[in-house]
Structure 1
Amino acid sequence: MRWWDIDPVMDLERALFPEDAWSRGMFWSELAHARGPGANRRYLVAEDTDGRIVGYAGLVASSSEQADVQTIAVARDHWGTGLGGRLLTELLSAATAFECSEVMLECRVDNVRAQRLYERFGFVPIGVRRGYYQPGNVDALVMRLTDPSTAVPGSERGTEING
């Protein structure tokens, strides 16, 4: 993901997460830490064959032992194509490159589709954060994957992942 991707990413973010969408400033801040010496983040976009951004994902390596999935989003017209799995595979590869031994994430308790994706990759639920997603006051399921280098790879047709 680059700065010029922020506008189309924001369009997708607002469409998918109307109540708790990230701000433009949040994406700018994350991208500022994704480049150069000491970079500890990896942000990606997925484009369809027409160059339209149809997905994005981000991860931060908070220490040499732990990484956190910050976001994964896939356009509704690409649900069920494997794109979410492909984005997650790229994030887990980044976690491995950062030499992280575990990956954490939060997922809305009502987002069963995402929970199933994470479970297929070996993530297990370890707790709940009450009222994590605001302003809707929706709980977050906390999930953890130990040893991201052994996670199951995803596949997708007709998109290109760019980081």
Structure 2
Amino acid sequence: MTGTSVIWHVRCRPDTSPEDYRHVLDLLAGFTPQVQPLPPLAALARVKGSLRLFGVDAGELAARFRVRALVQTGIDTHIGVADTWATAATASARVGRSGVLHLPDPRAVEHFLAPLPVQALHGIGPAQAGQLQRYGLHTIGALAAMDETVVCRILGGKAGRTLRARARGIDPRGRGPEDARVHL
């Protein structure tokens, strides 16, 4: 992780209507032009340029967005903030009472990810999690620490490399909406 970009993964509550989801996307566009919808109820936003404009860090800006969404639209959001979108997505599922989980540096990412069960890693399927657990890899930290060749033997080459990288806070897909290869 280089710290060169800051990604939000924004989740709306499961009972959010399609119209309300669109309101969240419109509100996000007021914070950054780099927004990638992830229907039905999530979005990615790259906010590095917005930090200078608003004069706050990414976690504080996410908290401001969350309050604005609640006040203006009544929509509750959960926001994971990290350097890669897989890590931000994992974080947005575990925000706690504040509604925002900011992982500002590689050490915070490692501290957050390591104790989580492997099935909590964004992008891992139940069958893959089951395979890893059969080999004694029950936490994301254990997956991150395992030799890549072993993980590739368990999950297959590409899947093993990808998921081990994500477990280490690295996302080979890129650093934000402009790299997601899905265009608005």
Same fold? TM cut 0.5: no
| Greater strand share, structure number | 1
TM-score normalised by structure 2 residue count: 0.27
TM-score normalised by L of structure 1: 0.29
Give 1 or 2: higher helix fraction: 2
